[in-house]
Amino acid sequence: MDLRFFEDLGITAGITQVPDDADERRAEFVKEAAWGEYVVAPVQVHGVRVIPVNRSVLEEQGTLVQLPDCDGTVTDIPGVTLTSKHADCVPLFACDPVKGVIGLAHAGWRGTSDGIAAVLALTMIQIYGCEPRNIKVCVGPAIGRCCFEVSEDVVAEFIAKMPWCEDYIDEGKVPGKYMIDLKGINTELLKMFGVSDIRISPVCTVEDMNCYSYRRDGTTKRMLAYIRK
Ligand SMILES: [Zn+2]
């Protein structure tokens, strides 16, 4: 079963669920790709590099386009499937139907605190000329505020980088532990750049057994987030 986003806009986007394996699904996408179509596979490092996938990036590679040191991609080229792998980290699906631009980012706590949501929005705005008001984002299934328990050092890092994010941090059930709302912080970052058309998935990957969760199971399995126009 796949969760579908942006179907009404004619854009194919979603995230696979248990028992689908991300690597296998990606291989299927590659197999199904017609001539001139591409499947983009970032080598995720919990960083904030968002790569504009233009013709020169594609021409250097085969159908499977591997991009090292990359946690986000944006493109305006039809037939290009952007993908990323997730097990609790936040998937950010973005599209601007006016400019025909799509984007996808992987935001774990490091990427979130370093502002990958802002980099995604800025890439669409500055490189692709998107108007923030035309950008639609779906904050996909991810570990929720209910389950993302962290220790003081993680909280300190968030507060140091973005003091406003206090609103998205609660005290945990155990002293010295805190709960962080990654979906909320990513949403707030997008709003700072004028993106307001944002849908947030209520699914918590730790609680929903249809999702792979690193926090729950320590699994090496991943869900595949994908978007193409
Ligand atoms: Zn939860």
Per-residue pLDDT reduced to its tens digit, 22-60: 999 999 999 999 999 999 999 999 999 999 999 999 988
Q: Of 107, 96, 97, which is closest to residue 200 (Cα–Cα)?
A: 107
Q: Is 162 inside a domain boundary?
A: no
Q: Is 163 inside a domain boundary?
A: no
- When pLDDT is cut at 50, 70 and 90, the band that residue 8 belongs to is confident
pLDDT value at residue 5: 85
Give per-residue burial for 185-223: e unless 16+ CB within 10 Å, then b.
bbbbbbeebebeebeebebbbbebeebbbbebeeeebbb
Answer whether residue 188 shows pLDDT above 80. Answer: yes
pLDDT value at residue 176: 95
What CATH number has the domain bearing residue 94?
A: 3.60.140.10
Answer whether residue 4 shows pLDDT above 90. Answer: no
Cα–Cα distance between 5 and 72 in angstroms, integer? 18
Cα–Cα distance between 51 and 60 in angstroms, integer? 14
pLDDT value at residue 7: 85
Ligand 1 centre and the CA of 63: distance in Å?
37
Are 138 and 107 in contact by the 8 Å Cβ rule? The answer is: no
Q: How many domains does the chain contain in total?
A: 1
- When pLDDT is cut at 50, 70 and 90, the band that residue 159 belongs to is very high
Ligand 1 centre and the CA of 215: distance in Å?
10
Q: Name the pairing type of β-strands 90-96 and 136-139.
A: antiparallel
Mean per-residue pLDDT for 127-153? 97
Ligand 1 centre and the CA of 204: distance in Å?
5
Q: Is 33 inside a domain boundary?
A: yes
pLDDT value at residue 1: 55
The C-alpha torsion from 80 through 86 and 92 to 97, rounded to 10°, is 30
Ligand 1 centre and the CA of 180: distance in Å?
11
Ligand 1 centre and the CA of 143: distance in Å?
6
Ligand 1 centre and the CA of 104: distance in Å?
23
- When pLDDT is cut at 50, 70 and 90, the band that residue 214 belongs to is very high
As a whole number, the mean pLDDT across the chain is 96
Q: Is 164 inside a domain boundary?
A: no
Q: Is 44 inside a domain boundary?
A: yes
Per-residue pLDDT reduced to its tens digit, 65-78: 999 999 999 999 99
Ligand 1 centre and the CA of 211: distance in Å?
12
- Domain of residue 18, residue span: 2-143+182-228
Q: Name the pairing type of β-strands 72-75 and 80-86.
A: unpaired
Ligand 1 centre and the CA of 212: distance in Å?
13
Mean per-residue pLDDT for 137-142? 97
Per-residue pLDDT reduced to its tens digit, 75-101: 999 999 999 999 999 999 999 999 999
pLDDT value at residue 61: 87
Cα–Cα distance between 105 and 140 in angstroms, integer? 10
Q: Is 45 inside a domain boundary?
A: yes
List the structure tokens of 160. 């140091």
The rounded percent of the chain whose pLDDT value lies above 90 is 94
Cα–Cα distance between 141 and 1 in angstroms, integer? 14
